[in-house]
Structure 1
């Protein structure tokens, strides 16, 4: 189970009968939870420290190429079984990127992609769109801030200074960082979540959001501006050629996901990060997928956080997801 830009505790924040990890365990699934690198429970490194610039020299490219395969290999080695994968947001992106290269499929039984993120050119989140438009992550990296901590003083102070400049309107963006606790329905610009209790939002904000690399935020901003799924662009033909063997970053061809891989995609009509138009773009890309192997669930009132903390997520999303998993085991 791989969450969005958070640590693995996201899957455990709701009451026991509503948290997906515990619901799966109660239904006799062997559950393994993964925390993204750089987050609270995944900060150790063989020789680097979080204070080192090199520690943060990565984007979701490395998560797809290195971290997710290492996770699959470890769990598969421990259990000897093929895996059902569950990802939310960023966790869906890195999975699809890895699957599109033919990796991990030999160890995969099926995949559940909640709030699937692939194309993000149509996102309506003020947080994402304004940050990309104003090149905020690029500026932070230029200033030497390699760890992007949305709760940290450095990010908050920079945003306040930038937003005070004439002609720059960062109202929604700044509120998303600084006023989350008074906006239980917007939850950092993820969409108007239909099914969150104020108490669960408080619990969520005690733990999340978690740090990421500033380089990763730049990569996502590039995707928003370009509407493409490509590897990180160094904006220098020489650098790109050195890294990729070509002057521009290679694209991820999502249509190359093997057509017989069972996929469960669930998305919401109120989700401002996994926007309906972007998900429809993804579905068009997967139009040649074996239709007996793909299930698409659309929940009109759901926004981004409802999929992991909605009070009715068990009935609406998790029960159908478990039924899908069990069908792949017959």
Structure 2
């Protein structure tokens, strides 16, 4: 097995980090706690109470309490016996509007990422809750809220033997089914961020029954077939054999020492490391996220997942197809393989109206390729100019640029008599291409419902930004 110089350098860096982490573990825990307390005390002087409490909040419950909101825990047993935790923000008595929303996080994340904005109205679940929605937030198997299994422990290899396939076959449909049973409604609305949207695309493409249970799907910073990683060396390594990832990180949890570094390093140093990694991998500069927001959000950015799920993404990168996981044999060259890896049938099997909200500077989103792999006449998209991937959940103007359009999309389909006919979506001026009709909130599909939003007594509607919707 030949390893290149670049691969050797990466291996050395990873093993160096592992060695330093081992040395850190030798330091008595009392000293670590004193250092952590001192660092947080020094940093606290520069933070507002909200910023400090959010950054130090250990769970989604503590984060929501900062804003006076209570969260319920619900446990879901998947068909392959993982135990997932769903977090629910129940509607206030007498305020339920009859609609249920299910949100799902991205790669290396958990439900924390939805509720860590310093500005209350930049947190999508809170705005939905204020408007009377029954809000549920899912968690993938393996993250900090879902590390239980009926027969396997997180210390075993078998526990971490999952990829995007398992998220699509089990986690998403089993979570949706649980929410529907609990709320006793026939359909719900799905919202996914990043990999969360990819999991939903995959799950919807595999189940006709699941399509009937979801009324609308909103994908924020949607991921499906990223073009490439920004750093050419890392991109080349990512597209090489999975053997390197398994050699570097093993076959269980990915980056297990990340939480330890987060607790022991000064927050500004840890944030610099996150910024450096994002710049090298994706060329993200995060200029739309304030420094204060980064202090909070980056503390909630990481949660555990399997090495195999990241290897799956690298296979998608290499193939440039939204495909299922390939159980690779490192000794068989891809040219010699006598079989094809199945792709998720997203273009033909998804029957749900979809809204794609993506950043114009997001290196992970190729909107044209994505729309080619989704059904025509069911997909709308909004480009948020000069914004990147993480900006769409943590950016300073999320309320005006993202949340308002989520609510508008939901409201439009609630007031439409038909969701499936080609004439359901009125045309408006702007594009001569019959296959790429343009829709505008101001002049097009939302014009007849503009007065509806004036009835919403919520601050987010005071910052309405008129955006162009485009259909596939």
Q: Partner residue of 1:160?
A: none
Contact 1:96/1:257 (8 A) holds in 2: no
Matched, 1:145 2:250: yes
1:142 deviation in Å? 3.9
Gaps of 5+ in 2: 1-102, 262-267, 333-337, 416-472
Structure 1 CA distance, aligned partners of 2:274 and 2:249? 33
Q: Partner residue of 1:47?
A: 151
Structure 2 CA distance, aligned partners of 1:127 and 1:22? 41
1:126 deviation in Å? 6.6
Q: Partner residue of 1:220?
A: 313
Contact 1:266/1:298 (8 A) holds in 2: yes
Q: Partner residue of 1:62?
A: 166
TM-score (norm 2): 0.57
Tell me, what secondary structure is at the counterpart of 2:135?
Answer: coil
Contact 2:116/2:300 (8 A) holds in 1: no
Structure 1 CA distance, aligned partners of 2:361 and 2:325? 29
Gaps of 5+ in 1: 157-177, 240-245
Tell me, what secondary structure is at the counterpart of 1:17?
Answer: helix
Q: Partner residue of 1:306?
A: 391
Tell me, what secondary structure is at the counterpart of 1:31?
Answer: strand
C-alpha distance after superposition, 1:32-81 (max 9, x if no partner):
00112111111122121111000000001100010100011000111122
**1:234 paired residue among 312, 315, 327:** 327
Q: Partner residue of 2:211?
A: 105
Distance change (3 Å), C-alpha of 1:153 and 1:22: closer
5 Å-filtered alignment, 1:1-330, equals: 1-5=103-107, 6-14=109-117, 15-81=119-185, 82-103=187-208, 104-124=210-230, 129=235, 131-133=237-239, 138-142=243-247, 145-150=250-255, 152=257, 181-182=271-272, 188-189=278-279, 190=282, 191-236=284-329, 247-259=339-351, 261-274=352-365, 278-286=366-374, 288-290=375-377, 293-330=378-415
Structure 2 CA distance, aligned partners of 1:67 and 1:146? 20
Tell me, what secondary structure is at the counterpart of 2:380?
Answer: strand
Q: Partner residue of 1:164?
A: none
Contact 2:225/2:320 (8 A) holds in 1: yes
C-alpha distance after superposition, 1:233-274 (max 9, x if no partner):
11249x9xxxxxx93321112212334x11110111211222
C-alpha distance after superposition, 1:181-214 (max 9, x if no partner):
1267667245222320112212122222222111
1:217 deviation in Å? 1.1
Contact 1:223/1:230 (8 A) holds in 2: yes
Structure 2 CA distance, aligned partners of 1:111 and 1:194? 28
Contact 2:197/2:219 (8 A) holds in 1: yes
Q: Aligned-pair RMSD on alpha carbons?
A: 2.8
C-alpha distance after superposition, 1:112-144 (max 9, x if no partner):
001111112345367972551455x63242467
Structure 1 CA distance, aligned partners of 2:362 and 2:256? 22
Distance change (3 Å), C-alpha of 1:57 and 1:326: same
Contact 1:114/1:307 (8 A) holds in 2: yes
Using CA pairs under 8 Å that are at least 6 residues apart, name the structure with larger relative contact order, 1 or 2: 1
TM-score (norm 1): 0.81
Contact 1:180/1:187 (8 A) holds in 2: no
Contact 2:239/2:315 (8 A) holds in 1: no
Structure 2 CA distance, aligned partners of 1:218 and 1:128? 13
Contact 2:143/2:305 (8 A) holds in 1: yes
